Every structure is written in C-alpha cells, then in structure tokens.
Amino acid sequence: DIEMTQSPSSLSASVGDGVSITCRASQNVIKFLNWYQHKSGKAPKLLIHAASSLQTGVPSRFGGSGSGTYFTLTISRLQPEDFATYYCQQTYSAPFTFGPGTKVDIK
Amino acid sequence: QVQLVQSGAEVKEPGASVKVSCKASGYTFTAYFIHWVRQAPGQGLEWIGWINPNDGGTKYAQNFQGRVSMTIGTSMTTAYMELSRLRPDDTAIYYCGRAIPADQAIDIWGQGTVVNVSS
C-alpha cells in the first residue's frame, strides 16, 4: 500500500494569512493526488484533483502543485470559512489511501 | 442537481451486519464509480473500496476484505455497502462518493451515515 504523510499535522493562522500544507507519498503517484477540505459534521469537499486542477466552484485562493512523491496545497489569504481539516489522497493505486490530515485553526 | 443521499443512522451489536444505501440522482449513474470512505471518531478518512455501477466490478481495501460487499440495486440508481461481523471499532461515519472517471477523485459526496456498534 502507498503510505501518505502530511505536514504539519496542525497549524494556527490568522484571517488573511497564506499557508502551505505538504503531502508526501511513499511511492511515485505521478499526479494522481487530490486534496479535500473536511469540516466536522459535514461531508468532505474536493478542492484539488490531479495535483493541480482546481475543482469547479472552489475559490482561486486554493492551489495545488507537485508530482511524483511530493505535493503542496497552498491557501492564500485565509478566510474564516477555510478553518478546517485538509486531507490529501492518492488515487494512483488501490487502496486509495488518505493522508492523516492537517488541521488549520484560528490563531 | 447532482446528489447522493444516504440511508439513516444505524445502531448494531457486535457481530451483526449493516447495509448502507447511497441513492444517486441528477447524473448518469453508470458513468461514475462509487467509492466508500469512513471516518471513525477522532480519526482521519479511511478508504473502503469502490464499485463500478456499469458492471458491478469492485475493489476493496485489504483491511475490509472478507467483511465488505458493495452492490448496485436493480433500479440502477442506488449503491449499497454491507459490512459484516461488526466490531466496536467499526463505529464511524460512512460516506459514499461519486468519482471523476479520469482520476477517481471524489467530487460528489453523500451526507454520511453514522454506524454505531455497541452492545
């Protein structure tokens, strides 16, 4: 199985800040890497798929980059609704494993 | 609009089985795989498997092999996930999701079904 790791596990930031979350895969997943936002009590929301493709309807302050084993999710100008947990997921090889998550909370 | 609506919360005893439904609307059901994902209390997301509604083909995570079964209803608008020999650590919110054909990212999610396994 492909193991996914994320860093940091949590971060505190203020509204208007820019933040970056990294995701590493234990094997090459090419660009089969997705990012989700998850808030308690709600279903996860797809933000980025194929490493850098912004899902329809997602604000442009979200961006994804990377390939192979190293990926980054960037959020510029944090908004109040962005405080949530973010997960990466590889869909290159089943099982389609998720990272452990990065919790973004308000400083 | 495109949506997935899941069945309601379940309370089961250890050793029992649970079957969760996921009804699709607003799109061609057979054109998109359905994935199942769960989140246990205080834990992250865990991928369970997928089913291809077009032919019923499935792929399950090894952790669930032998205990999970994913099927499609005869109406061809509903997917089911059945988990057997339930344990307390199967207590979780179970989600179904529609996957983008090109990369299997889950773009539409059901609202989640709480399954509580307790004696």
Question: Is A87's CB within 8 Å of B45's CB?
Answer: yes
Digit-coded pLDDT (tens) for A58-75: 999 999 999 999 999 999
Smallest Cα distance from A63 to chain B, Å = 16
Reported as a single tens digit per residue, the pLDDT across B61-88 is: 999 999 999 999 988 899 999 999 999 9
CB contact under 8 A, B105 and A87: no
Secondary element (H or E) of residue A63:
strand A62-67
User: What burial class does residue B41 get, using C-beta atoms within 10 Å of its C-beta: 0-12 exposed, 13-18 middle, 19+ buried?
Assistant: exposed
| Residue A107: predicted pLDDT | 87
d(CA B10, CA B73): 20
Of B44, B50, B107, the CB nearest to A101: B44
| Ramachandran angles phi, psi of B48, nearest 5° | -100, -45
- Tokens matching residue A48: 């980025």
Query: Using an 8 Å Cβ cutoff, are B73 and B80 in contact?
Result: yes
Min Cα distance B114 → chain A (Å) is 11
Q: Which of B49, B102, B109 sits opposite A44 (nearest CB)?
A: B109
